[in-house]
């Protein structure tokens, strides 16, 4: 079996496998970039920042509504 395989054949097979690996890694890279963009949009929508929650976004809006509801309940 191994006697019939030449070094040139092995090199060609290795190059083909490396191309396939590059394609897979390229696809994974695109997938990860898409996930990073989605996470960034979600964090922006939530108002999450490295220092904590900002004054804008869904979480901040929810906190304002809860505070207003608490005021209405006290009144």
Read off the pLDDT of residues 3-62 as tens digits, 9 standing for 90 and up.
688 889 999 999 999 999 999 999 999 999 999 999 999 888 888 777 777 777 888 888
Has this prediction a pTM greater than 0.85? no
Evaluate if residue 1 carries a pLDDT over 60. Answer: no
DSSP assignment string, 2-24: GGG--HHHHHHHHHHHHHHHHHH
Which residue in the block uniquely carries the two structure tokens 């054949």?
9
């Amino acid at each position: 079996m191994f006697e019939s395989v030449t070094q040139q054949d092995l090199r060609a097979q290795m190059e083909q496998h490396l191309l396939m690996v590059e394609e897979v890694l390229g696809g994974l890279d695109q997938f990860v970039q898409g996930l990073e963009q989605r996470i960034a949009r979600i964090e922006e929508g939530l108002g999450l920042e490295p220092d904590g929650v900002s004054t804008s976004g869904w979480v901040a809006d929810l906190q304002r509504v809860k505070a207003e509801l608490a005021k209405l309940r006290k009144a």
